[in-house]
Amino acid sequence: MRKARGFTLIEVLIALAVLITVMTIAYNGLIQSLRTQSDQEAVTNSQAKLRRVMEVITQDLRSAIFGGIINQPYTPTAQAVSIGLIDGGAGYPVVNKQDYYADILSPATTASALGINPGDQLLMVNGAQSIVLPVSGVAQNGQPSQWRLSHATCRNPLAFAPTGTLVFRIRAMGIRYDPSQNTLYTREGSTEQPMAFGITNFRIDYIYSSSGGTLRTWNFSSGAFPGMTFTDAGTTYALQRLQVVMEARENSRGRAITRTYTGQVELLNNGTYAMGTVVSCS
């Protein structure tokens, strides 16, 4: 009879080497699979957050009264924008305008029926210019259907108030980005609150168009926000849309995964009224 032969040392070592190789491949595959899964989760989280924030921003911008940009609560920059949101009712005709008050026509017989109160904000539009006025007082003017709206803290610098000048009650709201905190803020009146955290970059592009269709993006290194229109080399450009670019970063197993999201908003005007140049209080 032949005696049974066991494994030689070399065979055992070869078997161990093969086993170690197989286990290493399996382990590396598992690590790569976990890394890919983690990266995908980070990408999904970043994109979902950016999409939600962008939806809120673009919805607000689409609601801007007359498709215009105003100058409060934030001065428009590449990282901040302000708009007026209509706050009920149609415009009231202005029949008399002085430095610190404006008389308007309204069929309302009581202040509560008028719906304008101290602390409200008004947008006065005369076709060429606009201004945001803080209301300090509301009183009947002693004449049928006339009300006097005082704005004591804001001298009205509009050059003229022709027939057709209107005031609208609005809510002035703004969005700004603080790069030092990677945080977006929103503000109405004196109340500012965080809108989104973990935003690693944020930019607003103000895109203008000429009557011939030439597009220009305003470069803030050339100067402050020019308003709804600007003229360069004899060509007038009107603000047509805003492009918002946001970036968020998520950690994935010790690595940073960055995603960028871009949204565009056409600034729509009903064609009846134009904000023109929004002037500041003097």
In the block, tokens 């939600």 appear at 52
Q: Is the bond preceding 134 in cis, omega lying within 30 degrees of 0?
A: no
The amino acid occupying position 128 is: A
Give the per-residue pLDDT at 28: 73
Question: Across all residues in the chain, what is the average pLDDT?
Answer: 85
| Whether residue 137 has pLDDT greater than 90 | yes
The per-residue pLDDT for range 61-115, each reduced to its tens digit, is: 999 988 889 989 999 999 999 999 988 767 888 888 888 888 888 888 888 888 8
Q: Is the pLDDT of residue 38 over 60?
A: yes
Topology of domain 85-170, per CATH? Elongation Factor Tu (Ef-tu); domain 3 (2.40.30)
Query: Where in the chain are the domains?
Result: 39-81+184-279, 85-170
pLDDT in tens, 190-207: 889 999 999 999 999 999
pLDDT bin (cut points 50, 70, 90) of residue 7 is: low
pLDDT recorded at residue 265: 94
DSSP 221: G
Q: From CA 116, how far away is CA 126, in angstroms rounded?
A: 20
pLDDT of residue 179: 96
The mean per-residue pLDDT over the stretch 133-143 comes to 89
> Looking at the predicted structure, is the pLDDT value of residue 35 above 90?
no
SS3 33: helix
pLDDT tops 90 at residue 52 = yes
Please tell me the predicted confidence (pLDDT) of residue 181.
96
pTM given for the model: 0.80
Q: Which residues contact 136 (CB under 8 A, 6 or more apart)?
A: 118, 150, 151, 152, 153
pLDDT of residue 125: 85
The per-residue pLDDT for 75 is 93
* C-alpha to C-alpha distance for 64 and 59, rounded to whole angstroms: 9
259 contacts 248 by C-beta, under 8 angstroms: yes
